[in-house]
Structure 1
Amino acid sequence: MQLSEMAQELRANRHAFPNRWTSPHQGYAIILEELDELWEEIRMKTERRSAVHMRQECIQIAAMSIRFIEDLLDPDEDEIIG
């Protein structure tokens, strides 16, 4: 289930932002933004935390990590595309 949600998130992100990422710095910044959103949820008091929100952020982090690999790393060589 999580993998299909991650794939759906990746497709939605590619639809909303169709241009390839241009650099590892851009990819890092996008992943960091999602990680910061997870961290904000984690820092909340226990009774205010949302498992649904944390799960959603984790799925977004996974999807953006896959996008980093697909957009910036050549699978056939040890090269960075961006």
Structure 2
Amino acid sequence: MDKEIMEQLLAETLQKMGKSRVDFDREVEEIKKSSSVEVMGNLLAIMMESMDATANMLSLIMIQNASLQADITALKGGKTNA
């Protein structure tokens, strides 16, 4: 996955969680110091699930937007300059 996209999804996830990037980075560093590979794997899995959920929400919004655009076009009688 593109690093820019991952950063954007992480930023959106942190915003929804009410955490700053600094707090997140600090927590990750603390976990790294006192955890095993298994815990780090679990943390990564949680982050990936959050990104997947965000991507699914964005996909749903895009589908709904396309549907609404089609409905608007139909209501206008196929004209785009109503």
Rg comparison, structure with higher value? 2
Q: TM-score, normalised by structure 1?
A: 0.39
More helix by share: 2
With structure 2 as the length reference, what TM-score do the two structures score? Answer: 0.39
Higher relative contact order (CA 8 A, sep 6+): 1
